[in-house]
Homo-oligomer: A and B are copies of this chain.
Amino acid sequence: MFAQIGANLVTIKDISKRCGYSTSTVSKALNRSLEIGQKTTAIIQQTAMEMGYLPNSAARSLKTNRSNNLGVLFIDEMQSGLAHEYFSAVINSFKVEAERLGYDITFISHNIGNMQMSYYDHCKYRKCDGVVVACVDFNDPDVVELVQSEIPTITIDHIFNDCTAILSDNLRGTKDLVNHIYASGHRKIAYIHGENTSVTKRRLAGFHKACRALNLTVPNDYIKPARYHDPQSSGLATRELLSLSDPPTCIMYPDDFSYIGGMNEIEKQGLSIPEDISVAGYDGIYLSQVLRPKLCTFRQDTDALGTEAAKNLVDAIVDQKTYIAKQIWIEGQLLVGNSVKKLDSE
């Protein structure tokens, strides 16, 4: 036995020579084709093992037009990239499941080599068998092009036509939060929301539905725009809310991370949470549960989101012809925390 030195030198041809079968027989045996006799297959497999054979993915991909490679498109507006805890958790479980199913993952971007290319072109260039799209501006024409292409695609937290979507149950989550806050005695609830995306729409809808069901009228002033994952804009919105003549007793934030901006603003004004003002976040990231007071939030099941995304993407790839796009809703969970004060009902 000699250690392999240098690049992967052992090819099917080498195996063929060594054990006296033709390259096609070897190839078939290696792929466990039933055409080949059991004994022959065993011999060939054994030899391959001994010689340290490794298939050449480029050659295979060239021939079969498949790469066992999944693209991940993941570019948030705030450029937080993988530092975005919620999405990196999703991507991570996606990665784990994808690997379990036998796929590599490659990040899709705009520039590769010396050339600029669209996301779609990048996927074609890398022969990605499928792509998962998360955390992007879904209005970006480049994203639309990719999603509408023939490449199997799965989106996370956004619905496109004819494209399977893995969705966190935002309607339900927001409702649960409002109901909990209401049950704690609050009647003046403000909502700071993120950019105008389908997620935001659903959350806003959930907010308003819940309020209506509770017979709460929400002043327009109580709805403030900000950005996801951006403490600064949420801090600004918080300041505006606090300076209202009739300020809310509880503020809901776009997400846990952006809540930090609100927290800082509230501290700066010498107010304390939750004594003077109650707050709630969204996502249930680790951070939210180690802050003091513990944040009231809605935990999204990032594990399930990523895993389902991988499973369904692979399904879509394998059953390319018969696969039908679905929408898969992933349940979350209210985390009560201590950031919403119990008010005496009036």
Contacts and interface: CB of A to CB of B under 8 A. Distances in A.
Interface of A: 5-8, 54-59, 61-62, 65, 67-69, 81-83, 85, 88-89, 91-92, 95-96, 99-100, 102-107, 109-114, 117, 121, 124-127, 150, 260, 263, 286-287, 290-292
Given A58-B67, A102-B114, A291-B292, 6 more contacts: A6-B150, A7-B124, A7-B150, A8-B124, A56-B62, A58-B62
A89 B106 CA distance: 17
Contacts of A104: 106-107, 109, 112, 126
User: Nearest 10 pairs between A and B by C-beta?
Assistant: A82-B92, A58-B61, A81-B92, A58-B62, A82-B88, A102-B113, A8-B124, A99-B109, A58-B58, A260-B290
A91 B82 contact: yes
B54 A5 contact: no
30 contacts: A7-B124, A7-B150, A8-B125, A54-B117, A54-B125, A55-B125, A57-B58, A57-B127, A58-B58, A58-B67, A58-B127, A68-B112, A68-B113, A81-B95, A81-B96, A82-B88, A82-B89, A82-B92, A83-B88, A85-B85, A99-B107, A99-B111, A104-B106, A104-B107, A104-B109, A104-B112, A263-B290, A286-B287, A287-B287, A290-B291
Nearest to A150: B6
Contacts of A59: 58, 62
Contacts of A292: 291-292
Copies in the complex: 2
Contacts of A82: 82, 88-89, 91-92, 95
Contacts of A126: 57, 104
A257 to B, nearest CB: 8
A112 B83 contact: no
B62 A62 contact: yes
Nearest to A52: B121
A260 B294 CA distance: 13
A292 to B, nearest CB: 6
A334 B150 CA distance: 51
B290 A124 contact: no
B83 A92 contact: yes
Contacts of A58: 57-59, 61-62, 67, 127
A7 B123 CA distance: 10
Nearest to A109: B99
Contacts of A111: 99-100, 102
A39 to B, nearest CB: 22
